[in-house]
Amino acid sequence: MSQAPEVLAEQVLADSMAAAGLKDFSVAAVLGSGLGAFADRLRDPLVVPFEELKGMATSTVPGHSGRFVLGELGGERVLVQQGRVHLYEGHSVHVVTRAVRAFDVLGCKSLLLTNAAGGLKREWPVPSLMRITDHLNLQGVAPLRPSEVGRGTPYSVELGAILDDAAKECGVPLERGVYAGLMGPSYETAAEIRMLDQMGAQAVGMSTVAEALTGDAVGMGVAAISLISNPAAGISSVPLNHEEVQEAANAYADHFAGLLELGLPRLANE
């Protein structure tokens, strides 16, 4: 029986990554809007733009550089994905999660997802960091195949504890909460934010949930962090915009990078 087109596409991407030297790593991190500068902390980096790889879609969103960077961090080989593609850009859920599946083909064991998100907790400072403990998938699609079984919450308790410990060691406050993933690209209305608050969300964004579900389904340990870059609609009187997201990421870049520099290599050994 021939393989499904999406299965062939992820194998093609994995083969293309390996041919470009992007292999032999046990932990990968996907960096969201404005967070790509962390890749500069990798030693002896190998940089490969998305467009040089077969099967890897490129993003049209500012703050998503569109590169893979493989390097050494804390004695571990770490792959960093600078930027991602989104459902709201017109991509299917298979395309959005293709890189995660390619990581699995290449032997990756742990996956750290990051994003910029709007915050629903008025008492949290902006910007701040939140470890995702669970999510609400409100994007209307699921990435799993008929042969795959969702196991509930995809976020690893063990990997989460590692990040909590790393945050304490480097003195970076790390909140915990539920992330609501919506389709986008429009920001939520104040009424929608009130609904999400009643549903138990502490942060809202337009990515991550499909990648997390996929990583868990293929057997990787998954952890995720949101940069709370702005108050959600109805909490702040200032209109939301993407420039605000990037400014917040820049303002909190050292805190974010310090946490990942300490915590990411430890995820490789779990």
How many whole angstroms separate alpha carbon 151 and alpha carbon 94? 19
- 243 Cβ contact partners less than 8 Å away, ≥ 6 residues apart: none
- With CA atoms as reference, report the closest residue to 129 among 262, 267, 266, 256: 256
| Mean local confidence (pLDDT), 63-92 | 91
DSSP codes joined into one string, 91-119? --HHHHTHHHHHHHHTT--EEEEEEEEEE
3-state secondary structure (DSSP) of residue 258: helix
Lowest-pLDDT range of 29-43, 160-174, 176-190, 242-256? 242-256
- To the query of whether residue 94 is one of the catalytic residues in this protein, the response is no
In this prediction, residues 83-96 reach a mean pLDDT of: 93
Which residue among the candidates 57, 130, 206, 253 is catalytic per the annotation?
Answer: 206
Percent residues over pLDDT 90 in the chain: 71
Catalytic site includes residue 64: yes
Catalytic residue, from 26, 33, 110, 115: name it. 33
167 flagged as catalytic: no
Structure tokens at 29: 């991190």
255 is catalytic: no
Annotated active-site residue 91? The verdict is no
Q: Which of 56, 66, 73, 3 has its CA nearest to residue 33?
A: 66
Q: Name 268's Cβ contacts closer than 8 Å, sequence gap at least 6.
A: 26, 27, 76, 77, 78, 109, 110
Q: Which domains does the chain have, with CATH numbers?
A: 5-267 (3.40.50.1580)
Judge whether 28 and 81 are in contact, CB under 8 Å.
Answer: yes
Computed on alpha carbons and rounded to an integer, the radius of gyration of the chain in Å comes to: 17
Tell me, yes or no, if 252 is annotated catalytic.
no
Flag whether pLDDT at 101 surpasses 50: yes
- Is residue 115 among the annotated active site residues? no
| Average pLDDT score over residue span 199-213 | 97
pLDDT, tens only, 12-70: 999 999 999 999 999 999 998 777 788 999 999 999 999 999 999 987 776 557 999 99
pTM, two decimals, is 0.94
Helices (H), 118-252: 157-170, 190-199, 209-217, 242-251
DSSP helix/strand/coil, 203: strand
Q: Is pLDDT larger for residue 136 or for residue 229?
A: 136
Query: Per-residue pLDDT tens for 208-255?
Result: 999 999 999 999 999 999 999 888 877 766 666 667 667 777 778 888
Q: Out of 56, 64, 192, 217, which one is annotated catalytic?
A: 64
More confident residue, 115 or 1: 115
Task: Give the pLDDT band (50/70/90) at residue 2.
Answer: very low
What average pLDDT score do residues 170-199 get?
A: 94
* 1 — pLDDT class (breaks 50, 70, 90): very low
Question: If phi over 0 gives left and psi between -120 and 50 gives alpha, with beta otherwise, what is residue 154?
Answer: alpha
pLDDT of 161 > 70? The answer is: yes
Kindly name the residue from 16, 18, 20, 88 that is annotated as catalytic.
Answer: 88
pLDDT at 187: 86
226-244 burial: b if 16+ Cβ within 10 Å, else e: bbbbbbbbebeeeebebeb
